[in-house]
Amino acid sequence: MKSGVTRLVTIAVTVAVVGVVAVVGGRKLAGWAGGLGRPTDVTAPANVVAGAPITIEVPAGSAARQIGVILAENGVVPSALAFELAVRGSGVAERLQAGTYRLETGMTAGEALDVLLRGPIVDSYRVTVREGLWVTEILDSLAAQTKYDREDFESALSNVDSSHGYGGGGLRSWEGGLFPDTYEFTSDASAEEILQRMATTMDQRIEAVDWSELETLGFNTREGVIIASIVEAEAKLDEDRPLIAGVVLNRLELDMPLQIDATVLYALGERGKALSTKDLQVDSPYNTYRVQGLPPTPIGAPGLASLEAAAHPVRSKYLYYVLTDKAGGHSFAETYDEFLALKAQAKRDGVIP
pLDDT recorded at residue 33 = 34
Is the pLDDT at 24 greater than 80? The verdict is no
Both 220 and 235 in one domain: the answer is yes
Query: What's the one-letter identity of residue 5?
Result: V
> pLDDT, tens digit, for every residue of 276-305?
999 999 999 999 999 999 999 999 999 999
The domain boundary, picked from 117, 136, 161, lies at 117
Whether residue 337 lies inside any domain: the answer is no
Q: Any idea which of 38-47, 57-66, 81-90, 138-147 has the lowest mean pLDDT?
A: 38-47
Residues 112 and 10 in one domain: yes
The pLDDT tens digits for 182-213 are 999 988 899 999 999 999 999 999 999 999 99
Q: Judge whether 126 and 183 are in contact, CB under 8 Å.
A: yes
Q: What is the mean pLDDT of the chain?
A: 90
Do 222 and 259 share a domain, yes or no? yes
- Specify the pairing of strand 124-128 against strand 182-186: antiparallel
The domain boundary residue, chosen from 207, 224, 246: 207
CA–CA distance, 303 with 286 (Å, rounded to integer): 21
Range of the domain at 162: 124-207
Indicate whether 310 and 235 sit together in one domain: yes
Q: Do 111 and 176 belong together in one domain?
A: no
Report if residue 335 sits inside a domain.
no
Say if residue 13 is in the same domain as residue 43: yes
Q: Are residues 79 and 22 in the same domain?
A: yes
User: Would you say residue 160 has pLDDT above 70?
Assistant: yes
How many domains are contained in the chain? 3
Shared domain check, 193 and 220: no
| CATH number of the domain enclosing 57 | 3.30.1490.480
Label residue 122 by pLDDT band (50, 70, 90). confident
The 10s digit of each residue's pLDDT in 66-114 is 999 999 999 999 999 999 999 999 999 999 999 999 999 999 999 999 9
Yes or no: say if 177 and 199 are a contact pair by the CB < 8 Å rule. Answer: yes
- Helices marked H in 18-95: 64-73, 80-90
Residues 90 and 37 in one domain: yes
Whether residue 352 is contained in a domain is answered as no
Q: Are residues 137 and 82 in the same domain?
A: no
184 and 132 share one domain: yes
Secondary structure element (H or E) that encloses residue 221, with its range: helix 221-234
pLDDT-derived band of residue 272, with 50, 70 and 90 as boundaries? confident
In the three-class reduction of DSSP (H, G, I as helix; E, B as strand; rest coil), residue 192 is classed as helix
How high is the pLDDT of residue 39?
55
* Residues 130, 164 within the same domain: yes
